[in-house]
Structure 1
Amino acid sequence: MTELHVPHPMKLLGRVTRGFYRLADVELRPFGLATGQLPVLVSLKNGQALSQAELARIAQVEQPSMAQLLNRMERDGLVERLPDPQDKRSRLISLTAIASERLPRAKRQMDALTSQALAGFTPEELAQFGAFLARMNDNIERMAGEAAESTPDGH
């Protein structure tokens, strides 16, 4: 009997994610959007303005990376920086009307792409798959918290 070779789950998860993002970037390009912008777009879609620090935390990226992303998004007319009413030295990030107009159509494209990627799975399989991923995410979050606690500066 031959042994079935299945890639390591973490390698496969990375491959799936990269492949999906490549396809999603193609789908989002006509809207002037990219997958790297999705954490910002989704976080701001309900009209709430957030700080750069909050967006970096949500996207789980470092502040300089978020600053670069926001600079490109501002250049492309997707976000704007407004004075923070609580702290005049700070700026809050919000979506522009252009981004708000593009988001519903881009979401429909992403939903269609997701449906295609999940084709053939039963509702039960999707629920189980989601539970597995949620458990893995919980483990990673716990590990990250423990790692942060074990470093002298907490970073």
Structure 2
Amino acid sequence: MERALTRITYLSTRARQHERLMALAGVPLDRAAVALLRQVADSEPLRPGGLAQRLGVEASHVTRTVQQLQKAGYVTRVPDPHDRRAQRIELTSLGRQAVDRVREAGARGMQLALAGWSPEELRQLATLFHRMVDDFLAHSVEDESGQDADAQVGSA
């Protein structure tokens, strides 16, 4: 399973794959910009530091990417309702359209790749994949809290 995950990660993060997806979507953005747009689309407006944390990158990286996306009209800065000195990043209508086009192009690619799968196989895959991601995320939270998973098993 680890080998399959490594292969799918490699395939999905190749520069050529990204360029093909952007061409299909008609969106001229690099991988960092797309990742940031997707994160903003999937959440309420976030401060740049919150975006950096969710993306697992340095805040300066997010600041540069936000500046580029803001100049291109994909995002805007809005006041933080809890702290007027701070700003949050929000998608513009152009940003929402870009995310939608990228997701549609990705979905078309998956549909083509999995066209030979039965509806039942696709349902099983979706169910198990979501379960796996949830379990990985739960394990990741345990690791970040400083608790050793083996110690938790021993105390259960």
TM-score by length of 2: 0.68
- Please tell me whether residue 142 in structure 1 is matched to residue 138 in structure 2: yes
State whether residues 82 and 91 of structure 1, in contact with CA within 8 Å, keep that contact through their aligned partners in structure 2: yes
| Backbone CA RMSD of aligned residues | 3.2
- Please tell me whether residue 10 in structure 1 is matched to residue 18 in structure 2: no
More helix by share: 2
Displacement, 1:49? Answer: 2.9
Displacement, 1:146? Answer: 1.9
SS at match of 1:150: coil
For 1:34 and 1:133, how far apart are their aligned partners in 2?
27
TM-score by length of 1: 0.68
Change (3 A) 1:26 1:60: same
* Number of residue equivalences: 145
State whether residues 24 and 113 of structure 1, in contact with CA within 8 Å, keep that contact through their aligned partners in structure 2: no
SS at match of 1:50: coil
For 2:142 and 2:98, how far apart are their aligned partners in 1?
40
Give structure 2 stretches of 5+ with no counterpart: 148-156
How many percent identity over aligned positions?
Answer: 23
- Please tell me whether residue 81 in structure 1 is matched to residue 77 in structure 2: yes
Question: Structure 1 residue runs of 4+, over 6 Å off?
Answer: none
Give structure 1 stretches of 5+ with no counterpart: 1-5
Change (3 A) 1:136 1:85: closer
